[in-house]
Structure 1
Amino acid sequence: MIEVRFFGPIKEENFFIKAGDLKELRAILQEKEGLKEWLGVCAIALNDRLIDNLNTPLKEGDVVSLLPPVCGG
């Protein structure tokens, strides 16, 4: 199972799911109404490393984090 974690203003509970790669995981997450708006603006981290290739394979025990943009001042 893959652990999916959410941070900041994303109002979702972390959960575990099966997915073969980030593209498949993204398709699953797009079905969740509260996440659609975030998927286009969030950075994705796989095991604490930023990833930009949705074809990246996932394996048992991986942790995927959705990181919303932040503003500071």
Structure 2
Amino acid sequence: MIKVEFLGPIGLNPIELNIKTINELSESLKQISAMDQWIGISAIAINNKIVTQSEGYILYDGDVVSILPPVCGG
């Protein structure tokens, strides 16, 4: 199982999923209606490291995936 945490204004409680790839993560997140506005614009971190080339990335039991919404500021 992996833990998925949603940071900042996404405002969802962490969940645990039994998945192995980022593609499976994306499909699982599409089932959560509150994620509609965040899918496609949020960054993904795996074990506190931003993953830029996430296609095909393999997840392992105990991994923590963080969904990071875009940041605005001035």
How would you bin the TM-score normalised by the shorter chain?
A: over 0.9
Q: Where do 4+ consecutive residues of structure 1 move more than 4 Å? A: none
Q: 1:54 and 1:11 mapped to 2: Cα distance?
A: 25
1:8 to partner: Cα distance: 0.7
State the partner residue of 1:37: 37
Structure 1 residue 54 displacement after superposition: 2.6
Report the equivalent of 1:7: 7
* Two-structure CA RMSD over aligned residues (Å): 0.9
- Seq. identity, %: 40
Q: How many correspondences in the alignment?
A: 73
C-alpha distance in structure 2 between counterparts of 1:54 and 1:37, whole Å? 21
- Which runs of 5 or more structure 1 residues have no equivalent in the other structure? none
Shift in Å, 1:11: 2.2
Return the TM-score normalized by structure 2: 0.92
Written as runs of structure 1 = structure 2, the 5 A alignment for 1:1-73 is 1-52=1-52, 53-73=54-74
C-alpha distance after superposition, 1:12-37 (max 9, x if no partner): 11111110111101101111100021
